[in-house]
Amino acid sequence: MQIKKASIRDVAKLAGVSTATVSHVLNNTRVVTPETSDRVWKAVHELDYHPSTIARSLVTQKTTTIGVMVSDIRNPFFTDVVRGIEDIFNASGFNLILCNTDESEEKANLYGRVLLGKRVEGVILAPTGHAVELIQDFISQSIPVVLIDRRPPECIVPFVGVDNIAAAYESVSHLVDDGHQHIGLVSSLMTSSTAQDRIEGYRRALRDAKISLSDELIVSFDGISTVVSAENVVRELFRHPHPPTALFTLNNLLTIGALRAINDLGLRCPEDVAILGFDDLEWASMFTPPLTMVRQPTYEIGTTAASILMRAISGEDITNEEVLLPTKLIVRDSCRPGGHSGNN
Amino acid sequence: MQIKKASIRDVAKLAGVSTATVSHVLNNTRVVTPETSDRVWKAVHELDYHPSTIARSLVTQKTTTIGVMVSDIRNPFFTDVVRGIEDIFNASGFNLILCNTDESEEKANLYGRVLLGKRVEGVILAPTGHAVELIQDFISQSIPVVLIDRRPPECIVPFVGVDNIAAAYESVSHLVDDGHQHIGLVSSLMTSSTAQDRIEGYRRALRDAKISLSDELIVSFDGISTVVSAENVVRELFRHPHPPTALFTLNNLLTIGALRAINDLGLRCPEDVAILGFDDLEWASMFTPPLTMVRQPTYEIGTTAASILMRAISGEDITNEEVLLPTKLIVRDSCRPGGHSGNN
DNA sequence: TTGTAAGCGTTATCAT
DNA sequence: ATGATAACGCTTACAA
């Protein structure tokens, strides 16, 4: 326990050298005789000295800190992505400032100011709504940004994600092949590029299968994805006179919610209603029934985005980078060949 | 896009005032005439000026940043805890630096240096092993620390968690009441206080039930908890001549792993082997079979720890704080009254 | 091989 | 009501 934290000057005084020497010893940035080096290190330990990154950053203009903005770290998709990001940056001595925006543009903008103020060297962002201004704020301070998951169509910014249209097309086609004609779609925020692309894939798959579209089969809600919101909205869907025989859910939380709602309604999956969901869950295979899901390479999305951002920080030009990682449809019992075998 | 970021001096010059005035306008820290205030704000916007928190921190000795060290954010337990922490601190304008230690003391110590250097104002820590030194490092720089989940017995530091002994006792007693006499225990790192307490609860429950203890029924592994490691270790357990009829798993990931292993071995749960696991999963009820679990108030652990830390940062004395939040045993089909109905 | 001193971008203490 | 200016704790030319 000590009254005042030791500074480089205290160390210099105790070691009988200049602050410059201390600095150089600490950073290995010029040759010093072993004797002085020893004296310095001894002083460092004696004083329990820890150099202030703050002061250092002020002069070097580098903070070795980046910002990560996602809607909610509790969404397993983002949990994994963030871990991937952390692994890459940690290896280079960078730290993460974690920001949960809860799909609120206001919160996102607030965080934006903070990150700008903290002089982060880069940002990885899963944008909410038209985040164009937010992104522009960073860019105009020459802070590199890499987008993940979603991409506002207006801006040309490096992006890492998946081909949502294709993945959704494949998924819905799979349901069609199983004999389904009434396929419901469950979304959270419809305005995100991700949702829109997945809906577009859904539409195209139905169109190509000559199945007529019905907007009443599409349900959604605002705010962050939660199991409960999904449950409510799915229940609503089944008040429809022609309820769906299959559900395409746009993310993992929605899938769980849908399954719950179906159980609550006394329907069985897949006999009455099939479910196919976006995003994998590590233990999707152990559900009742095992869930059919579109697996996104979450961890890799994180590491890839982080690597690109790291290169930008190193001065490389990344303006045109765009990486679409492959998805994988993992078919399990929650949708079954033969389609539904029942009513109406 | 601009060559150089604007500084307070640029603003002052453009507004025709001193830097002191700019600072005061920005921070609302003394009265200025509306006219000057306006001129300042106009200059701020014109230059797209964002005050440097770095420089500010250097003089105020406050960083509005705290460190959060957990073993792995992907563990749903910590995901939730971290979200709770973030909510509390975000409300006070603080940021989180997220550190994944992977149960490695080396990584933890490395992160310790970093956090010390970044002059975080506090740390929330789920300690790995004998983190006494690490904790001492913070304390001796008068950086307040709040421990969560685990508590190295040596040190007197504020703590937020649950009564693991009691919770384990209750759980194992439940299995005993169901008729089980051979109860296996699956742990990851056995040395953590959490694991030790849960094992202690297990022991006491068996002792009180006059069931003899067998160390061969306890399996574990080192490193972070993963489903795969748990799977392997559980398979091993069933090579035992007298395999258990029930499994008590010490965390959520282990529970999943155990269930998988049992399935792979061709055994059925709960008919052949019952499972009762620590930590809830939001969708544990939808597993095959629905899982019986000890629910910890994860989010609340986060918010509680954060509130205590926040008070410490505000200068309050928290040295003796210790909060044990209640757990809840949620009984589902994975263990069934009547115990196992089979062999030997 | 080492030291001196000028910043880095703020806040805060005096003055005025 | 406002301004000068000395810190804050480092790094980094430039000297010696």
DSSP string, A300-315: HHHHHHHHHHHHHHTT
Listed residue (B73, B40, B285, B226) closest to A263, CA to CA: B285
Percent of chain B residues topping a pLDDT of 70: 97
When mean pLDDT is compared across A107-111, A290-294, B3-7, B9-13, the lowest value belongs to: B3-7
Q: Which residue has the tokens 């949990």?
A: A79
Residue B153: predicted pLDDT = 82
For residue A92, the one-letter residue type is S
The secondary structure of residue A217, as a DSSP letter, is G
Tell me which of A118, A136, A138, A231 to substitute to probe the interface with B (most B C-beta atoms closer than 10 Å): A118
> Dihedrals φ, ψ of B114, to 5°?
-60, -50
CA of A20 and C1' of D11: distance in angstroms? 8
- Which pLDDT tens digit goes with each residue over B34-54? 999 999 999 999 999 999 999
Average pLDDT of the residues of chain B = 94
In 10 A of CB A133, how many CB atoms? 11
Measured distance CA(B230)–CA(B259) in Å, rounded: 9
Residue whose C-alpha is closest to residue B226's, from B216, B234, B218: B234
Among protein residues, the one whose C-alpha sits closest to the C1' atom of D7 is B59
Res B224: pLDDT: 85
What is the CA angle B4-B5-B11, rounded to 5? 115
- Average pLDDT (A182-187) is 96
Q: Please report which confidence band the pLDDT of residue B281 belongs to, taking 50, 70 and 90 as the band edges.
A: confident
Q: In what order do the strands lie in the sheet with B183-186?
A: B218-219, B183-186, B246-249, B274-278, B292-295, B328-330
Give A3's pLDDT tier (boundaries 50, 70, 90).
low
Q: What one-character DSSP code corresponds to residue B160?
A: E
Interchain proximity B95–A114, CB inside 8 Å? yes
pLDDT confidence bin for B2, thresholds 50/70/90? low
Whether the predicted pLDDT of A171 surpasses 80? yes
Give the residue carrying structure tokens 């953590």.
B192
Q: CA–CA separation, A322 vs A305, rounded Å? A: 10
Whole-angstrom distance, CA of residue A151 vs CA of residue A309: 16
A95: chain B residues, CB-CB within 8 Å = 97-99, 114, 118
- Percent of chain B past pLDDT 90, that is, above it, reads 85
Span A195-250, pLDDT tens digits: 999 999 999 999 999 999 999 999 999 988 888 999 999 999 999 888 999 999 99
pLDDT at residue B342 in the model: 40
Strand partners, B148: B160
Tell me which residue has tokens 């069931």: B211
**Cβ density class B35-60: b for 16+ within 10 Å, e for less:** ebbebbbebbeebebbbbbbbbbbee
Are the CB atoms for A131 and A153 separated by under 8 Å?
A: no
Residue with tokens 């499972």: B275
- Inter-chain contact A50–B2, Cβ cutoff 8 Å? no
Nearest partner of A103 among A95, A114, A91, A111, judged by Cα: A111
**Lowest mean pLDDT segment, chosen from A117-131, A310-324, A327-341:** A327-341
Q: Is the pLDDT of residue B343 over 70?
A: no
Residues B177-200: b if buried by 16+ CB within 10 A, e if exposed: ebebbbbbbbbbbebbbbbbbbbe
Nearest Cα to Cα of residue A68 among A46, A93, A101: A101
Assess whether pLDDT exceeds 80 at residue A264. yes
Averaged pLDDT for residues A164-182: 97
Residues of B in contact with A96 (CB under 8 A): 97-98
The residue among A116, A135, A113, A110 whose CA lies nearest residue A125 is A135
**What CA–CA distance (Å, rounded) separates A47 from A38?**
14
At what angle are helices A34-47 and A8-15 packed, to 10 degrees? 130
Does residue B17 reach within 7 angstroms of strand C, measured from its CB? no
The answer, yes or no, to whether residue B3 has pLDDT greater than 80, is no
What does each C-alpha distance from A46 to A13, A305, A339, B118, B314 come to in angstroms? 12, 42, 74, 20, 29
Tell me: pLDDT of B344 over 50: no
> Is the distance between the Cβ of A142 and the closest atom of strand C smaller than 7 Å?
no
Decide if A36 contacts A25 (C-beta within 8 A). Answer: yes
pLDDT of residue B341: 45
* A10 and B73 Cβ atoms separated by less than 8 Å: no
pLDDT of A107 over the 90 cut: yes
CA of B301 to C1' of D9 (A): 36
Nearest chain B residue (CA) to A264: B286
Band of residue A155 on the pLDDT scale cut at 50, 70, 90: confident
Nearest to B143 by CA among B202, B228, B49, B63: B63
Q: Identify the band that residue A129 occupies on the pLDDT scale cut at 50, 70 and 90.
A: confident
With a cut of 80, say whether residue B340 has pLDDT above it: no
Average pLDDT score over chain A: 94
Residue with tokens 């699956």: B186
Average pLDDT over residues A51-71: 98
Query: In this structure, what are the phi and psi dihedrals at residue B57, rounded to the nearest 5 degrees?
Result: -60, -35
DSSP B215: G
Smallest Cα distance from B36 to chain A, Å: 23
CA–CA gap between residue A338 and residue A210 (Å, rounded): 18
The 10 Å Cβ neighbour count of residue B151 is 23
What tokens were used for B185? 């225990």
Are B200 and B207 within 8 A, CB to CB?
no
Chain A residues whose CB is inside 8 A of the B58 CB are 52, 54-55, 58
Number of H helices, E strands in chain A: 12, 12
A/B interface, count of CB pairs below 8 Å: 138
Q: Do B141 and A5 count as a contact with CB atoms less than 8 A apart?
A: yes
B214-271 pLDDT, tens digit each: 999 999 999 888 889 999 999 999 998 889 999 999 998 899 999 999 999 999 999 9
Low-confidence winner among A50-54, A233-237, A255-259, B129-133 (lowest mean pLDDT): B129-133
- For A208, the enclosing helix (H) or strand (E) is helix A193-208
Res A343: pLDDT: 37
Q: Are strands A274-278 and A292-295 parallel, antiparallel or unpaired?
A: parallel
pLDDT one-digit tens code per residue, B297-311: 999 999 999 999 999
Higher per-residue confidence, A144 vs B336: A144
Asked if residue B339 has pLDDT above 90, the reply is no
- pLDDT, residue B127, reads 94
* Section B319-328 average pLDDT: 96
